[in-house]
Amino acid sequence: DAKTTQPTSMDCAEGRAANLPCNHSTISGNEYVYWYRQIHSQGPQYIIHGLKNNETNEMASLIITEDRKSSTLILPHATLRDTAVYYCIVRVVTGNQFYFGTGTSLTVIP
Amino acid sequence: ETGVTQSPTHLIKTRGQQVTLRCSSQSGHNTVSWYQQALGQGPQFIFQYYREEENGRGNFPPRFSGLQFPNYSSELNVNALELDDSALYLCASSPGDRGRNEQYFGPGTRLTVT
């Protein structure tokens, strides 16, 4: 599975959009981009995933560049409860495991 | 809430002892994966079970073993506990074929080895 690079930490003002970047320059054509988040000492929570096209659900939007070498997770209106560690993961569609890095620690500031 | 439950919540064991952790998967999910998360690190894949058979294993020694039952619940067993085994142990379940879909995590079991 391709490796991902994320900033160690980010801050975002409450009510503003949080844009979390992820680089995955070695991604292959059969690899999906997944995003999970983990609130302190809880189990990781699935957010969204995509292959080529941009995706949106009730939690977030995922923007994948045309060359698929990077992506951005967008939380449209960040709340204090969005403070968490966000993991960007690239996974082979036939793979059976997720490779978590150290993620981005997002702090939403009042 | 993902519908994945784990027990116990917390556990303290002594070095050299054995421990069994339990996981109940979400209804309809036939695949269970186990992860170890040390403090300050991302989760590390231990192994996965699909329909009661091991379906992939990470870089963990044989003293980490598991089982999956006909109702798709699962156990993680760790023998000869070491201090470095202290971690949050996470179970994740997923539907469909061999966990190729998104995985839903339980709250974890915090194991402390003294």
pLDDT tens string A4-49: 999 999 999 999 999 999 999 988 888 889 999 999 878 999 999 9
Looking at the predicted structure, is the pLDDT value of residue B100 above 60? no
Q: Could you give the count of Cα atoms lying within 13 Å of A108 in the half-sphere of its Cβ?
A: 20
Looking at the predicted structure, is the pLDDT value of residue B97 above 70? no
Burial track A93-106 (b if 16+ CB lie within 10 A, e otherwise): eebbbbbbeebbbb
Segment 79-108 of chain A within 8 Å of chain B by CB: 87, 93-103
Question: A67-102 pLDDT, tens per residue?
Answer: 999 999 999 999 999 999 999 998 876 667 788 888
Segment 45-84 of chain B within 8 Å of chain A by CB: 45, 48, 50, 55-56, 58
C-alpha triplet B43, B49, B54: angle, nearest 5° = 110
DSSP 3-state of A80 = helix
Rounded to whole angstroms, how far apart are CA atoms A21 and A71? 6
Predicted confidence at residue A86, as pLDDT, reads 97
Q: Give the mean pLDDT of B35-57.
A: 91
DSSP 3-state of A81 = helix
Predicted confidence at residue A40, as pLDDT, reads 85
Predicted confidence at residue A99, as pLDDT, reads 82
DSSP B59: S
